[in-house]
Structure 1
Amino acid sequence: MINLKKNREFQNVYNYGKKSFGYYSLIFFKANETNENKFGFVVSKKTGNAVCRNRLKRLFREYCRLNEGNLITGYDIIFVAKRTAGEKFKTLSFEEMKKDLDRVLKNSKLFKK
């Protein structure tokens, strides 16, 4: 799994990519020139404390690790946690997050058929 690290990489996806909304997350995506997916994870301080933010990022990373083979290659994808995820982070299970992200990615047509 390759991560987006530089600010300009994130800004490029934000400014020129598309976005899709879920209940717990917002996803920005843009085609890149490579044959690999690059992932970025964003959780704002408005979402919660450090424990909350780190847990949400771990859930996003685990989802990407398990579903990397199911995604169409050649995209930069940024996962942004919404405040609703932060409010529910103690009881939020991986299955709930997975269900939400599956729906968002299917609507975005990023899943292989």
Structure 2
Amino acid sequence: MNKLKKNEQFQNIYKTGIKAFGYYSLVYIKTNKENNHNQVGFVVSKKTGNAVCRNRLKRLFREYYRLNEKKIKKSYDIVFIAKRTAGVKVKTLKYYQMEKDLNLIFKKLNMFV
């Protein structure tokens, strides 16, 4: 998994990418020039919750991507963004709920192989 790290990369995806949203998250995608590699970024703002909350949400996103990496189409930049509703429910939020939400988003975007 290649990670997006620079602010200008994120800003470029926000401006020119396609977005889709679910109950807990928002996902931006954009095609990239690298063959057979996805670049992934995870964003959880301070408005979402404290550090424990933000880290848990990032772990859930990373785990989802790790388990579904082979199903997702290649040569894309993908940015996962947590919504406030995820932060509010982080103590009771289970992985399967996040997975269900993200599966709906990726089906909307037609990103599964």
RMSD between aligned residues:
0.5
- Residue correspondence of structure 1 range 18-29 to structure 2 within 5 A: 18-29=18-29
Q: TM-score, normalised by structure 2?
A: 0.98
Q: Distance in 2 between matches of 1:44 and 1:88?
A: 15
SS in 1 for 2:91: coil
Alignment identity in percent?
62
Q: Distance in 2 between matches of 1:57 and 1:41?
A: 6
- Residue correspondence of structure 1 range 1-113 to structure 2 within 5 A: 1-35=1-35, 36-112=37-113
Q: TM-score, normalised by structure 1?
A: 0.98
By how many angstroms is 1:29 displaced? 0.6
By how many angstroms is 1:64 displaced? 0.5
By how many angstroms is 1:58 displaced? 0.3
Aligned residue pairs: how many? 112
4+ residue runs over 2 A deviation: none
Instruction: List gaps (5 residues or longer) in structure 2.
Output: none
